[in-house]
Homo-oligomer: A and B are copies of this chain.
Amino acid sequence: MSERKLRLGAFIQATGHHIAAWRHPGSQADSGTNIDHYQQVAQIAERGLFDLVFLADSPGIYARGDDAARSRYGRIATFEPVTLFAALAATTRHIGFVATDSTTYNEPWLLARKFASLDHISKGRAAWNVVTTGNEQAAGNFGQAEHLAHALRYERAEEFLDVVTGLWDSFDDDAFARDKASGVYFDPDKLHTLNHKGKHFSVTGPLNISRPPQGHPVIVQAGSSDAGRELAARTAEVIFAAWQTLEEAQAFYRDVKGRLARYGRSPDDLKIMPGLSAVVGRTQEEAEAYNRQLQDLIHPDVGISILQPFFPGVDLTAYDLDGPLPPFAANTNGTTSRLALVTDLAQRGDLTLRQLYENLAGARGHRVVVGTPEKIADEIQLWFENEAADGFNIMPPVLPESLDLFVELVIPELQRRGLFRTEYEGATLRENLGLRRPASRYAVTDEVRRSA
């Protein structure tokens, strides 16, 4: 039995992660804005003792291609994650909530308050997935002529995070006496005004909410660029990564864990949780048939629309879906992990266009494992025990069906192997993840002041 504990997140995007999931009989087609669906999914994940549920997000509409292709995208209308998670907090008791929100298109004061509020409402189960937003169409929603360049986005993100964590520390944990007899509600010496003035932000503070139960909501990141890794090493507590092979994942794991020491952090302070799409069957044949059924539901217009960005200057609709690939040039706006996958697959030289898009359709560049509970547990165990992962973000191809199956079949197998919990250990997300509660940035100052 392993001493370390495996961490599991359930990435619960709408109808599921396979691009054709909404057409599958096991999905709820309207789930992006169906609160009953998400209540059900969060309760399944909690029954499976998952650490957290996770939602991606973008401050703009997401759909590719022309009208014919776009009309077939099932994830175009979705809840705002923090609002949704506040509602889910009311009907769950243990599971954590990772809400994605952008540092490029937000005000730090408003974001700090919203996540502090969610942390109080959920009694310590909130996390923020910090993104700089890749969707270039978002800029126009915020009066900006163009999307900020990558380097500037990361510079802004770093300052944004610094402001937000400072605002969360506005009140000391013990600031509130609330003494009815004397009439003293709080100690003004324990309220701190941030007075931040930086390149991107000027924020006076303080925040008008008490320090979150977790001190700070858990900080999650997903960037795999060098700037992303460095920001994560300085500030992240969970990384959501996308890797296809054990070797890639190990290289990333070593690299990021190796960067922590320079910020005075230990390897345990950051949990690396790659994405994993598990297509589970009671037999290998059942799993493969399920996967085939999903692949056959992809309309070619949608398949081509997800490949088109990787083939700039080439009109893919002119090519035979079942013939060889057109000439491939690695010139794209896509994410690093997806680009690497497409490059690798294209360079193999024996794939058709249809096979290429089927490779991306299941989990957008994350690893897909199709098989029995034992096979999926084997893969999880291999990565977990070989410095490739501290856990996984499970990406069910179809929701709620595939998550339910994972909880019924894979979780018990992981428990039998002593890899996964049989009950929640803590009351907060931090406690379940084995993360320390951060001290206030004013704690040292306060100690000095009080002893003076």
Please determine whether A109 and B142 come into contact, CB atoms closer than 8 angstroms.
yes
Residue interface bits A205-219, CB-to-B below 8 A is 1, else 0: 111111000000000
Interface residue from B25, B30, B208 paired with A77 (Cβ < 8 Å): B208
Contact residues of A between 61 and 88, Cβ < 8 Å to B: 61-62, 67, 70-74, 76-80, 82-84, 86-88
Q: Which of these binds chain B: A115-123, A260-268, A355-363?
A: A115-123
Please determine whether A178 and B59 come into contact, CB atoms closer than 8 angstroms.
no
Tell me the minimal C-beta distance from A311 to chain B in angstroms: 23
Interface residue from B29, B109, B121 paired with A35 (Cβ < 8 Å): B121
Q: Which residues of B contact A244 (CB under 8 A)?
A: none
Interface assignment of A415: CB less than 8 Å from any CB of chain B: no
Interface assignment of A349: CB less than 8 Å from any CB of chain B: no
Interface assignment of A106: CB less than 8 Å from any CB of chain B: yes
Q: Given contacts A120-B79, A176-B30, A203-B140, is CB(A87)–CB(B90) below 8 Å?
A: yes
Residue interface bits A194-207, CB-to-B below 8 A is 1, else 0: 00000001111111
Q: Considering the complex, give the chain B residue whose CB is closest to the CB of A62.
A: B208
Please determine whether A39 and B90 come into contact, CB atoms closer than 8 angstroms.
yes
Tell me the minimal C-beta distance from A294 to chain B in angstroms: 13
Q: Which of these binds chain B: A184-192, A327-335, A376-384, A420-428?
A: A184-192
Please determine whether B209 and A23 come into contact, CB atoms closer than 8 angstroms.
no
Q: Which residues of B contact A140 (CB under 8 A)?
A: 202-204
Interface assignment of A150: CB less than 8 Å from any CB of chain B: no
| Cα(A17)–Cα(B204), bound, Å | 28
Interface residue from B71, B107, B188 paired with A186 (Cβ < 8 Å): B71
Please determine whether A33 and B109 come into contact, CB atoms closer than 8 angstroms.
no
| Cα(A84)–Cα(B122), bound, Å | 10
Interface assignment of A336: CB less than 8 Å from any CB of chain B: no
Q: Which residues of B contact A120 (CB under 8 A)?
A: 33, 35, 79
Please determine whether B206 and A176 come into contact, CB atoms closer than 8 angstroms.
no
Please determine whether A107 and B184 come into contact, CB atoms closer than 8 angstroms.
no
Q: Which residues of B contact A234 (CB under 8 A)?
A: none
Tell me the minimal C-beta distance from A141 to chain B in angstroms: 4
Interface residue from B123, B176, B208 paired with A60 (Cβ < 8 Å): B208
Interface residue from B29, B176, B299 paired with A178 (Cβ < 8 Å): B29
Interface residue from B25, B114, B204 paired with A80 (Cβ < 8 Å): B114
Interface assignment of A443: CB less than 8 Å from any CB of chain B: no
Please determine whether A141 and B109 come into contact, CB atoms closer than 8 angstroms.
yes
Please determine whether A121 and B184 come into contact, CB atoms closer than 8 angstroms.
no
The 8 A-B pairs with the shortest beta carbon distances in the complex, nearest first, are A140-B204, A90-B90, A86-B86, A80-B117, A67-B188, A29-B178, A143-B202, A83-B117
Q: Identify 21 residue pairs between A and B in the complex whose beta-carbon atoms are under 8 Å apart, listed by A's number.
A: A22-B180, A25-B180, A30-B178, A33-B120, A35-B90, A59-B109, A61-B207, A62-B208, A70-B188, A71-B186, A71-B188, A76-B208, A78-B208, A78-B209, A79-B209, A83-B83, A87-B87, A87-B121, A107-B107, A107-B142, A140-B203
